[in-house]
A and B are shown apart, each in its own frame.
Chain A
Amino acid sequence: MARITASVYSSHIPAVGAAFDHGKTHEPYWQKVFSGYEFSKVWEKQQKPDVVFLVYNDHATAFSLSLIPTFAIMTGPEFQPADEGYGARPVPPVIGHPELASHIASEVIQKDFDLTLVNEIDVDHGLTVPMSCMFGKVDAWPCKVIPFAVNVVQHPVPSGARCFALGQAIRAAIESYPEDLNVQVWGTGGMSHQLQGPRAGLINREWDNAFLDRLIDDPKGLAAMPNIDYVREAGSEGIELVMWLIARGAMSDLRGGPKPKVAHRFYHVPASNTAVGHLILENG
């Protein structure tokens, strides 16, 4: 049977992708950011996941205002890195897992999570930047990826509670898939940042670290936090953090398993306008 071995949490800042692509990772400013992923790259080589279920958001790239799905699962076989206006990132195409993705969609829709199914889409920095951080520079990605997009652009966006419940349904769906697969679930975006208006540049270090603490120890309580708190405390774009609760909901302690082990934790300010947060939790 397929099993979820770990969840990974990471910011997905576009400037990090640009620094990576333009060979700036050793410049002092960026070295501080990438140092937080040194452990993670080694860890991934040992873990060898078969599939990553990757929760991210599209940033007005594939979804314009003409189509705004709240939750979208990508069931297609292959996805190209998008041109977001600066040219497409020079990273390999993302190979999907249509059979597992369709299985998950079928299971969770029957549990009343009404997903949008997407077969053709270009994926933006929200998806590819965490992959570069976790896998480094590669000719081909070392695993298959099921992209899963959440609307965090136009409010109301889904609540933390809804994301957390969805994560639990996704976990049950993955664990009922008959093939023996090592699956990781990633939640991306955040941490505190605001890209607009006179409050642009907001960083809330204390709140971010409390979020990380609660994500580890009290995910159920954290999931009850209303969306206004994210926007007020972590900035208008800090609302992306609700997506981390999907990945946390997929961990096995929520169905009575042991508490996950914290394999790695990292926090740094700034990367461009944003606080970088990164966490790896292993299922016990």
Chain B
Amino acid sequence: MSLGKEFKDIPGTIVFDSEQSRKGYWLNQFCMSLMKADNRARFKANERAYLDEWKMTEEQKLAVMSRDLNRMMALGGNIYFLSKIGATDGKSFQQMAGSMTGMTEAAYREMMVGGGRSIEGNRKIGEHGDAQGAAPTGKDK
């Protein structure tokens, strides 16, 4: 039984299921390798060369090099795995999460202190909440 299609009906959200997991297998396993200091150093020294050691697609490699977290998610990444790239770059989880919203770091932090993003209009695709837009892509701030 595959996961119900209601899991695809949430705006601004990619549910990490077996399909995403298969798609992103080597992307996520590459991320795991960054938990070792030696690997972090090799990755930082030459990102392209390090990525070429992994059975990742070209699209996945480019998304990693441009630190485009939304793109990495779409290509099968899972945020707990992708966070190892952020840790390698010295980013906090709040900086990483915020970078996926298109907001500035300060604006995102302020939103959280103010009680977070509202659920209203953000339950289902097609409502009118602030998470209904396309995922912003481009370089991580």
Contacts and interface: CB of A to CB of B under 8 A. Distances in A.
A275 interface: yes
Interface stretch (A33-41, A135-143, A152-160): A152-160
B34 A85 contact: yes
A199 B78 contact: no
B57 interface: no
B14 interface: yes
Given A60-B81, A202-B122, A202-B131, A232 B100 contact: no
B93 A200 contact: no
Range for the number of chain B residues in contact with chain A: 35 or more
B92 A85 contact: no
Interface of A: 14-15, 29, 59-61, 64-66, 83-86, 153-156, 192, 194-205, 207, 228, 231-233, 236-237, 269-270, 272-273, 275
B56 interface: no
Contacts of B18: 154-155
Contact of A66 (B29, B84, B93, B98): B29
B136 to A, nearest CB: 7
A202 B98 CA distance: 11
Q: Considering residues A15, A29, A236, A237, which has the most beta carbons from chain B within 10 angstroms of its beta carbon?
A: A236
Interface of B: 3-4, 6-7, 10-18, 21, 25, 28-29, 31-32, 34-35, 69-70, 73, 78-81, 83-84, 87-88, 92-94, 96-98, 100-102, 108, 111-113, 115-117, 119, 122-124, 131-136
Contact of B12 (A29, A156, A197): A197
A84 B36 CA distance: 9
Q: Considering residues A29, A60, A231, A233, which has the most beta carbons from chain B within 10 angstroms of its beta carbon?
A: A60
A56 to B, nearest CB: 13
A66 B30 CA distance: 12
A228 B124 CA distance: 12
A269 B93 contact: no
Contacts of A205: 115-116
Given A65-B25, A66-B29, A232-B10, A272 B94 contact: yes
B115 A197 contact: no
A155 B7 contact: yes
B30 to A, nearest CB: 10
A229 to B, nearest CB: 10
A147 to B, nearest CB: 17
B88 A198 contact: no
A210 to B, nearest CB: 12
B15 A199 contact: no
Nearest to B22: A65
Contacts of B32: 60, 64-65
A14 B35 contact: no
Contacts of B73: 196-197
A59 B93 CA distance: 13
Contacts of B13: 194, 196-197, 199, 231, 236
A269 B81 CA distance: 25
Nearest to B103: A201
B68 to A, nearest CB: 12
A84 B87 CA distance: 8
Contact of A231 (B7, B100, B108, B112): B7
10 contacts: A65-B32, A85-B87, A194-B117, A195-B97, A196-B100, A198-B136, A199-B10, A232-B124, A269-B115, A272-B94
Contacts of A231: 7, 10, 13, 15
Contacts of A192: 116
A153 B77 CA distance: 12
A155 B15 CA distance: 7
A89 B33 CA distance: 19
B93 A15 contact: yes
Shortest Cβ-Cβ A-B pairs, 8 listed:
A203-B116, A85-B87, A198-B12, A199-B12, A199-B131, A60-B80, A201-B117, A200-B97
